[in-house]
Amino acid sequence: MGQFFKLADLGAIAPELELILWGMGILIADLIIKDKKKLGIVAIVGLFVSGIFLFRLNGVEATAYGGLLVIDQFANFFKLIFLVAATLAIAISMKYLDIERENHGEYYALILFATMGMMFMAGAVDLVTMYISLETMAIATYVLVGFLRSSQRSNEASLKYFLLGAFSSGILLYGMSLLYGISGSTRFIDIAEALSRRPLNDPISLMAMITLSAGMFFKIAAVPFHQWTPDAYEGAPTSITAYMSVAVKAASFAMMVRVFMVAIYPMRPHWVAIMAAVSVMTMTVGNIAAITQSNIKRLLAYSSISHAGYVLIGLIAGNQTGLIAVAIYLLIYTFTNLGAWAVVVALKRRDVIGEHIDEMSGLFFKNPVAAILMLIFLLSLAGIPPTAGFIGKFYLFASAIETGHNTLAVIAVLNAAISIYFYLRIVVAMFMREPNEKTELTYSPALLTVLAVAFIVTMFIGIYPDPFISMARLAIPAGF
Amino acid sequence: MDFINSNILTIVTFTPALGALLLLFFPRSRAKTARNFALIISILAFLFSLHLVAHFDSNASGFQYRTDRAWIPSFGIGYQLGIDGISLFLVLLTTLLTPLAILASTRIRDRVKEYFLFMLLLETGVVGVFCSLDLFLFYVFWEVMLVPMYFLIGVWGGERRIYAAMKFVLYTMAGSVLMLVAIIALYFLNGKATGAYTFSYELILAAIHGGKLVLEPATERFLFLAFFVAFAIKVPLFPFHTWLPDAHVEAPTAGSVLLAGVLLKMGTYGMLRFSLPLFPNMSHLFAPFITLLAVVGIIYGALVAMVQPDMKKLVAYSSVSHMGFIVLGIFSFTPQGVEGAIFQMLSHGVSTGALFLLVGVIYERRHTRLIEEFGGLAHRMPLYAAFFLIVTLSSIGLPGMNGFVGEFLVLLGTFGVNKPRGVVAAAGVILSAVYMLWMFQRVIWGEITNEKNRTLTDLVSYEKAMLIPLLFLIFWMGIYSNHFLRPMDASVARLLSQTGKREIQYAVAPALQP
pLDDT exceeds cutoff 80 at A221 = yes
Q: What is the pLDDT of residue A315?
A: 95
Q: What is the mean pLDDT of residues A288-316?
A: 94
Q: What is the dihedral of CA A358, A363, A365, A366, to 10 degrees?
A: 110
ipTM confidence score: 0.93
Q: What is the pLDDT of residue A419?
A: 93
Q: What is the pLDDT of residue B318?
A: 92
Q: What is the pLDDT of residue A357?
A: 85
DSSP, collapsed to helix, strand or coil, labels residue B85 as helix
Q: What is the pLDDT of residue B25?
A: 85
Query: Residue B172's closest CA among B294, B268, B264, B297?
Result: B264
pLDDT of chain B, 514 residues: tens digit per residue = 678 888 899 999 999 999 999 998 888 778 888 889 999 999 999 999 999 999 888 888 889 999 999 999 888 899 999 999 999 999 999 999 999 999 988 888 888 888 999 999 999 999 999 999 999 999 999 999 999 999 999 988 888 889 999 999 999 998 899 999 999 999 999 999 998 899 999 999 999 988 888 888 899 999 999 999 999 999 999 889 999 999 998 999 999 999 999 999 999 999 999 999 999 989 999 999 999 999 999 999 999 999 999 999 999 999 999 999 999 999 999 999 999 999 999 999 999 999 999 999 988 888 888 888 888 888 888 899 999 999 999 999 888 899 899 999 999 999 888 889 999 999 999 999 999 999 998 888 888 888 888 888 888 888 889 999 999 999 999 999 888 998 898 899 899 888 876 554 444 444 444 4
Q: What is the pLDDT of residue A287?
A: 94
Going by pLDDT thresholds of 50, 70 and 90, the confidence category of residue A350 is: low
Cis amide leading into B73 (omega within 30): no
Q: Which residues of A touch B155 (CB under 8 A)?
A: 431-432
Q: Which of A432, A465, A466 sits opposite B154 (nearest CB)?
A: A432
Q: What is the pLDDT of residue B514?
A: 41
Q: Is A321 left (phi over 0), alpha (psi -120 to 50) or beta?
A: alpha
Sorted by where each begins, the domain ranges of chain A are: 7-475
Q: What is the pLDDT of residue A354?
A: 67
Say whether B140 and A398 touch across the interface (CB within 8 A). no
Q: What is the pLDDT of residue A439?
A: 59
- Shortest distance, CA A463 to any CA of chain B (angstroms): 9
Q: What is the pLDDT of residue A156?
A: 93
pLDDT exceeds cutoff 50 at A1 = no
pLDDT exceeds cutoff 90 at A401 = yes
Q: How many CB atoms lie within 10 A of CB A14?
A: 16
Say whether A414 and B177 touch across the interface (CB within 8 A). yes
- Shortest distance, CA A401 to any CA of chain B (angstroms): 6
Going by pLDDT thresholds of 50, 70 and 90, the confidence category of residue A98 is: confident
Going by pLDDT thresholds of 50, 70 and 90, the confidence category of residue A124 is: very high
Condensed to tens digits (0 to 9), the pLDDT of residues A36-67 reads 888 999 999 999 999 999 999 888 888 888 88
Q: Which of A363-367, A421-425, B251-255 has the lowest mean pLDDT?
A: A363-367
Say whether A401 and B170 touch across the interface (CB within 8 A). no
Cis amide leading into A230 (omega within 30): no
Give residue B129's identity as a one-letter amino acid code. V
A397–B contact, CB cutoff 8 A: yes
Which candidate in A369, A380, A394 is best for mutational testing of the B interface (most B CBs within 10 A)?
A394
Q: What is the pLDDT of residue A5?
A: 64
Q: Which residues of B touch A469 (CB under 8 A)?
A: 72, 74-75
Say whether A397 and B180 touch across the interface (CB within 8 A). yes
**By CA distance, what is B167's nearest residue in A?**
A421
Q: Which residues of B touch A410 (CB under 8 A)?
A: 178, 181
Q: What is the pLDDT of residue B499?
A: 85
A386–B contact, CB cutoff 8 A: yes
Give residues with Cβ within 8 angstroms of B315, minimum separation 6. Answer: B248, B256, B260, B305, B352, B355, B356, B359
A432–B contact, CB cutoff 8 A: yes
Say whether B174 and A414 touch across the interface (CB within 8 A). yes
